[in-house]
Chain A
Amino acid sequence: MITLNINGKDVQLDAAEDMPILWALRDIVHLTGTKFGCGMALCGACTVHLDGQAIRSCVTPIAAAVGKKISTIEHMQNDKVGQAVQAAWSAVDVVQCGYCQSGQIMAATALLTSNQKPTDEDIDAAMSGNICRCGTYPRIRAAIHEAANKLA
């Protein structure tokens, strides 16, 4: 048994230590907002926060999360920056198929938490690991600026 802190709650899991956080979340805890896109830290669909840092949960074993706080898309409504990001996503009407968007929102929230006024270059640096096959990039960029303005 491994104990993980997920969205503020301790959860006991019967899983191997090397199981990636992604699959523990999706297949054991059934928190399916976090998505699988590549399994190789190449697309960002699986982005969650580990102690506030954006990480790729598809390549991070649960052992690495013991004693730390995992926060997922399902928790963003309780996060001040997360709320602003979600509101901006709605205002700009960012989503298309929606599959990448949990990861985009988690990456954007981590960015805005550490950098209140990101420039376009900052956005490129923080968000280029998150692929959107639907090409919502211009709207993601606009929504990040919008959230930054609202948070200022």
Chain B
Amino acid sequence: MVSSLAEPLLALRNIRAGYGEAVVLDNISLELADRGSLAVLGRNGVGKSTLLLTIMGFTTLRRGNILWQGRDITALAPHRRARAGIGWVAQEREIFANLTVEENLTVAARPGRWDKRAIFELFPRIGERRANKGNQLSGGEQQMLAMARALMTNPALLLLDEPLEGLAPIIVEELAGALKRMIRDEGTAVILIEQHAGIALSLTEDAVLLERGAIVHRAKSADLMKDAATLDRYIGMKIKA
């Protein structure tokens, strides 16, 4: 397959979006190939979460359009986008507190490779806690469940909003391992927002840097990793290669 000629899985064209009257994102264009992976980096409040919310259809879109597998989904309701194959892991995890762990998974289930059995293999801790309520989980377990729940929809594209934020190093390692498996072995396309720029860039192929609602830099992740000056300028951090 010649990937450069193939239709992109997801394409944003000239997006302007925000909340009600407030415009947060402007002039955003990007493409993601099938099985592609993209890191989205940027400081706090630049609009990273808003970008994912816009792809899901939760923001006010003022301009531009969104194509999914070549089809215009600009006007499609969020639940239809999810059913079309876009999985979303929200920044705040948003586990259903009154549902059990198992119910959190079954409400999202759609046929495909990821079922409860496969999930419990990927995250054995989730399996152990299956009968617990969502609000009885630790932060790390919540994050695993949020990712597991999105996988239950058997997405072709997974949108991950800071999945490693605020977690203990050992959990970060476990989740990063699972992510790697998803991207490399399963071929799930991923858009990954992450404060741990080092991990994000090592997991992905491409990267964009966001500042004040606009894309200010595009690069291959491997190249950006070595470009300390750019990283320092836009996200104010140096990373160890």
Chains A and B are bound partners: no
